[in-house]
A and B are shown apart, each in its own frame.
Chain A
């Protein structure tokens, strides 16, 4: 499964920086994710998670620094890098006038998957995500959860070795959320590197091999849960570690608003 350059990291970011005018959204960020690892990317709203992921998948050009997927530079060798990754954004905008099955066929052609394999894979993914009955319906009529699942099916159709998921469980019912969690664990076991951003710390705590916490565009902590506990010395759960690093709720302010 570890397709790509020999010995290369599945995901490698070195000194990634992105500025929008005077705002520095991501500031000199470096991280590495190996094959067969789930990396949780945490941080408050506006911390730079989505911007980082967009730079890693080649949707945004870094102001400085480099991003590599399986050893291929996302900017210089973008087609080699992109053919190895799958991406599901936080808001899965799809082609409204395409049917579900047609969308998967289109994705397979885009990633140049062999047609016979693509058809079998498409059927398999539609069944897996409980979309087989809706496969001939126009995407326009899909609910948010169905779109999210179809986008994930589209990202998996070419069997990527690196998967980027931005808030993958938002808007999903408990059954679908559980399905995605199980699927990610299976993908990890088969050697796929998964990088996902989430606000649900319980998911990160239970599923991720390592987590990175970003704030104001900087990676302020990184490691396995055990390593983070060791660093913070006294904290128990990931939630407590996260809140101590990023700043907890202001109870006085909360009380004033609710009074």
Chain B
């Protein structure tokens, strides 16, 4: 007879929250270490390189900020502004910690998938939440704050503060993240009631990418508009605008200045309120988060939207219906539906789109050829506009070709088990990347043609160049991506390996240079339209067509062979 001896629960009540959190953190650390030990040398090398890069970057950042603070202190820079600097810096850290902690909490609580396992263990929900949030937020927080240590030190030196100030800023930096992390965790629990966690992660990615790109473009446009060098006091002024007197980080900043100046009553009052608000607020947030999760209030929204009444799908007209009932248009239509719904795809094209618009705008502002380019080469100048249009459209859409086959992901079995040949699959992916390219490229070519005031012949030639370069680049992209597909990805950036990505970039560039060279030759030969000129013009365009056909069919053929053998 079998018997089941239950394990004794006697130790559960005696374990304190701190010990439980420590236990969970140590277990997490062991898991990480074990994963690192068993990982490939490439993985370890990548992490080491990243660590070196981040440390270098952080030290550089610290050095630059230190110099700014010191020079601002020496210059005077407005005493009030200088005194507000610690509060401004701490407010920036507070805000940044909140944003990163929101993303980290989302991953740790909902996307990691181990929360239920931990909650079922004999540890309190509070301990689980605290341990998960520390694990998630600590690396980012250290990355943000460690470079600030020399900055605060430099600030103290410039203001002639003593050792008490150094101790105080170290303590403040250690305590500061607790509240934003707690608030972020609670916010995550509220938000996931409304939006599915994966969707939130996608939206956050899009927002972060959008903000980064906007800042970068803003920086470039300022660079174009002004040549004035930014002074340290300008940066100081910018940082102090973040200071809000009654917010905990501002109170901490005021307390640090008070400690430095030896104003102990003010220091005790401000730092005391800061510590109280931070610790009590964080504990309340963590307690509430653990409770809300435990009672089931913070259930995730699993559906991707409200249930809506069924819409009757409009039937396509006869001829179209027949055409659409074919694997190639089926793949194209499906991908064109999926691509805009997956925000991670939009993130990929956001940067090239923004930079493309920026550069097209620059060309449109000054469309005429520089005076140095004249004589026989003057007609080829119009190709610069075409080159910009092609580059912009390719930057945006070539990646859809490169990761086209891999985008099938773990659902690739659907196409592989269907009566669809590898060529049909590849043509579907080719069109998914090529059709939007052609649409956007045509608009850009037309806009640049209007701006440059060229004749209709030039427009036709530019459009032909656009169509052929795009076809070749898309063929190369789909071919390389289809030859080395990755179906086990979880993020679009993982779909294409570094090797295929580099190979594709070299191949695109080589092909584009050859083709635009042939079109430039045709443009130079065209004006006279003598017999020899006509021959040269036709020969250049025929060569362009042949090179394009090779760029389309050779990579696709290789990919078709690979895909038909793929297991």
Contact = CB atoms under 8 A, between A and B. Distances in A.
Interface of A: 57-61, 78-80, 82-83, 85, 87, 89, 91, 93-95, 97-98, 101-102, 105-116, 118-119, 132-138, 140-141, 143, 154, 254-255, 258-259
29 contacts: A59-B416, A60-B567, A79-B419, A79-B420, A79-B421, A82-B417, A82-B418, A85-B417, A87-B417, A93-B409, A94-B411, A95-B414, A97-B342, A98-B334, A101-B313, A109-B324, A113-B325, A115-B322, A118-B325, A119-B313, A137-B304, A137-B307, A138-B303, A138-B341, A140-B304, A141-B302, A254-B2, A258-B2, A259-B3
B418 A111 contact: yes
A57 B333 CA distance: 25
B338 A140 contact: no
B196 interface: yes
B334 A106 contact: yes
Contacts of A78: 419
A58 B565 contact: no
Interface in B309-344: 310-311, 313, 315-316, 321-322, 324-327, 329-331, 333-334, 337-338, 341-342
Query: Secondary structure at chain B's binding surface: helix, strand, loop or mixed?
Result: loop
Interface string B277-313: 0000000000000000000000000111101101101
A115 B316 contact: yes
A112 B303 contact: no
A136 B417 contact: no
B32 interface: no
B325 A114 contact: yes
A245 to B, nearest CB: 25
A132 B321 CA distance: 24
Contacts of A255: 2
Interface of B: 2-5, 196, 198, 302-305, 307-308, 310-311, 313, 315-316, 321-322, 324-327, 329-331, 333-334, 337-338, 341-342, 409-411, 413-421, 565, 567
Contacts of B313: 101, 105, 119
A54 to B, nearest CB: 8
A86 B330 CA distance: 18
Contacts of A80: 419
Given A95-B334, A115-B316, A115-B321, 15 more contacts: A78-B419, A79-B421, A82-B418, A89-B413, A93-B410, A94-B414, A101-B310, A106-B333, A107-B414, A109-B333, A110-B330, A115-B315, A137-B305, A137-B307, A255-B2
Given A109-B330, A136-B310, A59 B565 contact: no
Q: Which of A78, A107, A110 has the most B CB atoms < 10 Å from its CB?
A: A110
Contacts of B321: 115-116
A249 B1 CA distance: 15
A58 B416 contact: yes
Contacts of A91: 410
A84 to B, nearest CB: 9
A61 B567 contact: yes
Contacts of B414: 94-95, 107, 110, 154
A147 B98 CA distance: 36
A141 B198 CA distance: 10
Contact of A140 (B2, B198, B322, B330): B198
Contacts of B316: 115
Contacts of B421: 79
B75 to A, nearest CB: 55
Given A111-B418, A115-B324, A135 B310 contact: yes
B305 A138 contact: yes
A141 B304 contact: yes
Contacts of A82: 417-420
Nearest to A135: B310
The 7 closest A-B pairs by CB, nearest first: A109-B330, A138-B304, A141-B303, A93-B410, A83-B419, A82-B419, A115-B321
Nearest to B4: A258
Contacts of A58: 416-417
Contacts of A143: 302
A183 to B, nearest CB: 20
A143 B417 CA distance: 23
Nearest to B326: A112
B337 A102 contact: yes
B2 to A, nearest CB: 5
A42 B329 CA distance: 39
A79 B362 CA distance: 52
A95 B421 CA distance: 20
Given A109-B325, A110-B330, A119-B313, A97 B341 contact: yes
B337 A98 contact: yes
Nearest to B342: A97
B327 A109 contact: yes
A259 B307 CA distance: 50
A57 B417 contact: yes
A97 B337 CA distance: 8
Contacts of B411: 93-95
Q: Which of B307, B316, B330 has the most A CB atoms < 10 Å from its CB?
A: B330
Contacts of B311: 136
B320 to A, nearest CB: 9
A208 B111 CA distance: 41
B423 to A, nearest CB: 11
Given A98-B334, A119-B315, A259-B3, A93 B413 contact: yes
A141 B330 CA distance: 23
B194 to A, nearest CB: 14
A259 B316 CA distance: 67
Contacts of B327: 109-110, 112
A106 B414 CA distance: 10
Contacts of A95: 334, 338, 411, 414
A98 B567 contact: no
Contacts of A140: 196, 198, 304
B380 to A, nearest CB: 44
Given A97-B338, A115-B315, A115-B321, A134 B330 contact: no
B408 to A, nearest CB: 8
A115 B324 CA distance: 8
Contacts of B337: 97-98, 102
B338 A109 contact: no
Contact of B315 (A110, A116, A137): A116
Contact of B5 (A79, A118, A141, A259): A259
B325 A141 contact: no
Nearest to A122: B313
Q: Which of B5, B334, B410 has the most A CB atoms < 10 Å from its CB?
A: B334
Contacts of B409: 93
Contacts of B342: 97
Nearest to B416: A59
B410 to A, nearest CB: 4
Contacts of A254: 2
Contacts of A57: 417
